[in-house]
Amino acid sequence: MSFSLDIETNQGEVTITGFQFNDYYRQMYNEGRSYRDSEEWREDYDHWLACKIDCRTSYADSSSYYTGGPEHFYISIRSITITYEAKTSFSVADTTAVLGETFKYPTANGSGHGRYTYTSSHPEVAVVFNDIYNPDENNYDDIYDYRARKKKISGYVLPIAEGTTVITVVNEEDGTASSYTLHVVYQPSTTIGSAETITVEQPGTLRELMNNLESTRIRELTLHGTLNADDLSYLHSQTGRLQNLEAIDMKDVTFEYGGDKPYATITKKVSGFIGNITHDYYLSNENRTESGGEGNMLGGYDGWVKHYTDKLDNLFNGMTTLRRVVWPDCVKGIGEEALAGTGIVSLLFPDDITFIGDNAFSGCSNLCSVNVPPTVTEMGIAFSGCTSIVNVGDLSHMTKLDKSAFAGCKHMIGNVMNMTLDLSGLDTIPEQAFSDCHLLTKIKLSDNLKFIGQAAFKSSVNLSDISLPEGLEIIDYDDDLLNYTSTNYKGAFSSCWSLENVQIPSSLKRMAFTSFECTPYLMNLPFENGVRYAGHVAVAMNSNEIGNGTVAIKEGTRVIADGFSSITIGKDGYEYYSESNFTSAQIPSTLQRIGNYAFGCGSLETINLPEGLEEIGRRAFYLQDGTSKLYGIKLPSTLKSIGYRAFAYCKNLEAITLPEGLEHLGESAFQGCTGLVTVNLLYEKELDRYNYGVFQNCTGLEKVIVGTKVPRILDYMFDGCTNLWKVEFAERPSGDSLAIGTRAFLECTTLQAFKTYSSSNLSPSRFATADEPVLDIPKFVTSLGESAFYKCSSIKSIIVPEGITLLPSSIFHRCSSVERVEMPSTLTQLDSYALHFTDGYVDYPFDLYCAASIPPTIERYTFQSKLKGCNLYVVPEAVEAYQATNGWKDFEIHADETLNIEPMDDSQKSYINERTNFYNLQGQRLNTTQYRGIYIFDGKKYIIH
């Protein structure tokens, strides 16, 4: 470049001392006026020139800038003439990179400015990137770094395999270009040691053959012949001549399977316990495992696992010196942890392997390239922590991945030949599968994709767009949003700094506010009345833009995202924890799902739940501190799922009806709702029995109504409902049974009565008055859970219906007010503590009526140890049998003929007015009745309630 200036000056001598282009500020400095730091802007076509003009006069001093003379000094630039000659070049023409080591790529220099584009002639040798965030940065999860917008770089080169390639740069503005040749070589880390070739003709002799070598240090080893477990044990030991082994070639090796000695033994700590599990690996073509163990003296657990494998599991695990491996052709897989923690930079294996085990390459931080063959269709956590791996080839054949399969592979691209990660064979992408893969730029997803797990592509900072297919239903499955922090993102695409273009499919049923956290896509979505929408999903809200205390979700919205109001978005577009200030929520008729943690805010008082709503997520209205103000909700009949603790500790709720179509009821869904007074159960499908404590500790609950088709009262369902005194059962069609779950009414200390709209199969004639509350278990109850009525201390009378064969352990344990119990003829067994009404060795008299003609089997402590004053009433023909049976003979046994009366079905029952004359069982005519019981009228039996 050359230039000339036409200037004039009033005094002094001026010279040009330097010039340069400034691509960022493009400004010309004119120094030399009496006004310090003044600037003058000039432009010539598209080029800017920064000129520094130096005044050589005696007038300048350190205290008065260009002053001291009789006149102010000035320079005036009248015109600039520029002649431009473009040129682009690299600092080197030829260079070498060592495989597995950090490569300092040459920089391109140019006399012009513009965008430089780099290419590699052989990307399978070295791949080059343009306009990317540096993948070697470690803090891409930090929201504050996102605000700062780190500078992107170009010309970033990653050598991945031995060979030669040409790196070319083109200036897109002027078309100038330059290139350099890059040689990628493998270089041993040390020159110490020899390269040896050994043929093992007799299996088990490898150690002996090695000991016969002159060299005491082996750097490279090539094996032929047949190896057995003893030979593998020697290789696994990494001792003696093998302690500095860098390369091993086992391509032509075969194996002798069998033997009773393991070739490797690994001991691992038991997570969460005091103890260890010992893993022994045996060379076998059976591919199976055996396991066992027992508790130890420290209260922990010691176990063992025997692995029988032909995939060489754990063979080289932890051999940090190992850098090159050629896998045996006869082994059709790479076993679990086979190469974990090694220093390998190069691996050759057969292209027909079918298996890559969990952690096979875990922590291999120098491994750059592995072409996963199409014969491998499923993979576990194989490459987690392989921070240098770039190329894994075409993964379109993969049908299943485990979580974290490629987590932490920050340089991974996928297939370097098309710069694409092809996942078109997966219908599920599990959590953290590609988390922190910083160099992913293009992803191809399957048309059949249904699920993308949490953090699946977290911190893929160079991913600019993603096409989500129709049919996708779930993005994120994050059940721990309460542990969200600003530096711990869990969203599927969180911290994807370049992600601007996303198409939300209409099929999407679930996503979280974190799904696109810290992405340009999310930040560019506009607010509509304080709510930000991604397609049909309400993603997040800005509490500062919500007027009149009401958040209104617009019509057409079908999903409210997980964490919708847990994190509020400020006017600057960033997310903060803050207390939302709205008191009501207006929900559109189109809504189908309310997400996890969606309304975890203490100010919300009212919300309409429309017909059409199908799912309420876990902890949707839950507050840990129990300060929820929510009241007056009505669950729609369309509701199918209520999540874990969805309404827990909403203390102002008064009544809840669980609708007929409910299919999932989460554990502790209404736990601690102390304001609940009535609960109506209408669900007709079998719910997960292990979702405990749905209404646990609802201490204000008084009455429960059980609908006609409820199949089960769930385990611990009303545990601790200390004010519950009555459960009503609707009449149900014949054949529709009901089960009462384990500890269903545990410690319901005021519970006294079960009432049904049809009478029990058994006579209630033993009970004194019609007003006395009775736990009359309905005839359609076919099973009772352990401790179902444990410590229900207000129950006085119990009727167990016909059909029940077992009273399980502790079912009525510590029911300390029981006076009378009636048991059916079908009963065959009473487990421990079933009718143990007290705690200690005390006298506790009660009356027991048992219609079973054969004494049921009992266990130790079925009854209390002292039965003095306890009366047992049995059918006359069974008196002697009971008197002769241990456990039963301690009662005062009486014959009761009424126990022989056969139960009536509904067609035989009639109900009469108390004023009607009728006869008792002794044939005496009565004018009225004071007691309920069985009576005779027109030759038929009648029950008076």
Q: Which pLDDT does position 944 carry in this prediction?
A: 55
What is the per-residue pLDDT across 393-404, written as a single tens digit (0 to 9) for each?
Answer: 999 999 999 999
Q: How confident is the model at residue 781, as a pLDDT? A: 96
Q: Which pLDDT belongs to residue 876? A: 94
Confidence class of residue 11 from pLDDT cuts 50, 70 and 90? Answer: very low
Stretch 357-383: mean pLDDT: 92
Q: Residue 771: its pLDDT value, please?
A: 58
Round the average pLDDT of the chain to a whole number and report it.
Answer: 83
Closest CA to 604 of 628, 587, 623, 579: 628
Which pLDDT does position 70 carry in this prediction?
38
What mean pLDDT comes out for the span 491-513? 92
Considering only residues 20 and 440, tell me which one the structure prediction assigns the higher pLDDT.
440
Tell me the pLDDT band of 931, cut-offs 50, 70 and 90: very low
Range 909-921 average pLDDT: 51
State the pLDDT at residue 304: 92
What pLDDT does residue 834 have?
96
What pLDDT is attached to residue 68? Answer: 39
831-836 average pLDDT score: 95
- pLDDT tops 60 at residue 5: no
Q: Once rounded to an integer, what is the mean pLDDT over residues 743-750? A: 97
Q: Of 346, 128, 152, 113, give the one whose Cα is nearest residue 246.
A: 346
- Predicted model pTM: 0.77
pLDDT band at 441 (very low <50, low <70, confident <90, very high): very high
pLDDT band for position 271 (cuts 50, 70, 90):
low
Q: Of 307-316, 337-346, 558-567, give the lowest mean pLDDT range.
A: 558-567
Residue 897 three-state SS: helix
Please determine, for residue 449, whether its predicted confidence score (pLDDT) is greater than 50.
Answer: yes
Residue that wins the pLDDT comparison between 179 and 109: 179
Please classify residue 912 by burial: count the beta carbons closer than 10 Å to its beta carbon, then call 0-12 exposed, 13-18 middle and 19+ buried: middle
The H-or-E segment that residue 520 falls in is helix 520-523
Mean pLDDT on 238-242: 89
What mean pLDDT is predicted for residues 455-471? Answer: 93
Q: Which of 58-72, 186-200, 356-370 has the lowest mean pLDDT?
A: 58-72
> Can you tell me the mean pLDDT for 606-618?
96
d(CA 666, CA 694): 7
pLDDT at 479: 54
The pLDDT of residue 484:
44
Q: Do domains 88-185 and 766-777+790-903 have the same CATH topology?
A: no
Q: Decide: 389 and 366 in contact? Cβ < 8 Å.
A: no
> Residue-wise over 735-771: b if at least 16 C-beta within 10 A, else e?
eeebbbbbbbbbbbbebbbbbbeebbbbbbbbbeeee
Average pLDDT (456-460) is 93
Judged against a pLDDT cut of 70, whether residue 487 lies above it is answered with no
Cβ-in-10-Å burial (0-12, 13-18, 19+) of 712 comes to: buried
For 256-262, which contacts have Cβ atoms below 8 Å and span 24 or more sequence positions? 256/203, 256/226, 256/227, 256/228, 256/283, 257/283, 257/284, 257/285, 257/310, 258/283, 258/284, 259/228, 259/229, 259/230, 259/283, 261/229, 261/230, 261/233, 262/229, 262/233, 262/306
Q: Where are the beta strands (DSSP E) in 193-272?
A: 194-200, 218-227, 247-249, 254-255, 264-269
Per DSSP, the three-state class of 233 is: helix
Confidence band for 868, pLDDT divided at 50, 70 and 90: confident
pLDDT average, residue stretch 499-503:
92
pLDDT at 141 exceeding the cut of 90: no
User: Tokens representing 545?
Assistant: 């833009």
3-state secondary structure 619-674: CCCCCCCCCCCCCCCCCCCCCCEECCCCCCCCCCCCEEEECCCCCEECCCCCCCCC
pLDDT at 727 over 60: yes
Of 49-63, 238-252, 826-840, where does mean pLDDT reach its minimum?
A: 49-63
Q: Mean pLDDT, to the nearest integer, of 485-496? A: 70
pLDDT at 553 over 50: yes
pLDDT in the model for residue 920: 58
Domain locations in the chain? 2-83, 88-185, 766-777+790-903, 906-944
**Do the Cβ atoms of 351 and 374 come closer than 8 Å?**
no
* Nearest partner of 262 among 228, 223, 288, judged by Cα: 228
Q: How far apart are CA 238 and CA 924, in angstroms?
A: 100
Percent of the chain past pLDDT 90, that is, above it, reads 60
Query: Given a cut of 80, is residue 575 above it in pLDDT?
Result: no
217 vs 841, which has greater pLDDT?
217
Predicted pLDDT of residue 272: 62
pLDDT above 70 covers what percent of the chain? Answer: 79
Residue type for position 487 = T
Number of H helices, E strands in the chain: 5, 67
Higher local confidence (pLDDT), 76 or 628? 628
Residue 245 binned pLDDT confidence (cut-offs 50, 70, 90): very high
In this structure, the number of other CB atoms found within 10 A of the CB of residue 16 comes to 13
Residue 561 has pLDDT above 90, yes or no: yes
pLDDT of residue 10: 43
Model pLDDT, residue 489: 47
Q: Which of 184-193, 291-300, 831-840 has the lowest mean pLDDT?
A: 291-300
| Per-residue pLDDT, 4 | 46
In this structure, the dihedral spanned by the alpha carbons of residues 919, 925, 927 and 933, taken in order and rounded to 10 degrees, is: -30
If one compares 110 and 258, the residue with the highest pLDDT of the two is: 258
**pLDDT tens column, 38-95:** 333 333 323 333 333 333 333 333 333 333 343 444 444 444 444 445 578 888 899 9
Tell whether the torsion through CA atoms of 782, 786, 792 and 795 is positive or negative.
positive
710-725 pLDDT, tens digit each:
999 999 999 999 999 9
pLDDT at 932 over 80: no
Contact by Cβ (8 Å): 88, 110? yes
Angstrom distances, CA of residue 87 to CA of 113, 131, 455 = 10, 21, 45
Nearest 10 degrees: Cα torsion 870, 873, 877, 883:
-10
On the question of pLDDT at 756 being above 90, the answer is no
Q: So what's the pLDDT on residue 257?
A: 95
pLDDT of residue 440: 94
Q: pLDDT band for 893, please (50, 70, 90 cuts).
A: very high
Residues present in the chain in total: 945
Q: Which two tokens stand for residue 649?
A: 């500790």
Q: What is the mean pLDDT of residues 268-286?
A: 85
CATH topology of domain 88-185: Immunoglobulin-like (2.60.40)
pLDDT of residue 792: 96
The mean-pLDDT minimum among 33-37, 406-410, 690-694, 919-923 falls in: 33-37
Query: What is the model's pLDDT at position 546?
Result: 74
- What pLDDT does 822 receive? 95
Confidence of residue 669 (pLDDT cuts 50, 70, 90): very high
pLDDT score at 574: 52
Alpha helices for 570-623 (secondary structure H): none
For 766-777+790-903, CATH number out of 3.80.10.10, 3.40.1010.20, 3.30.230.10, 3.40.50.620 equals: 3.80.10.10
Per-residue confidence band for 917, with pLDDT thresholds at 50, 70 and 90: low
Residue 785 in this model has a pLDDT that exceeds 80: yes
pLDDT confidence of residue 624: 77
The pLDDT tens digits of the residues spanning 796-820 come to: 999 999 999 999 999 999 999 999 9
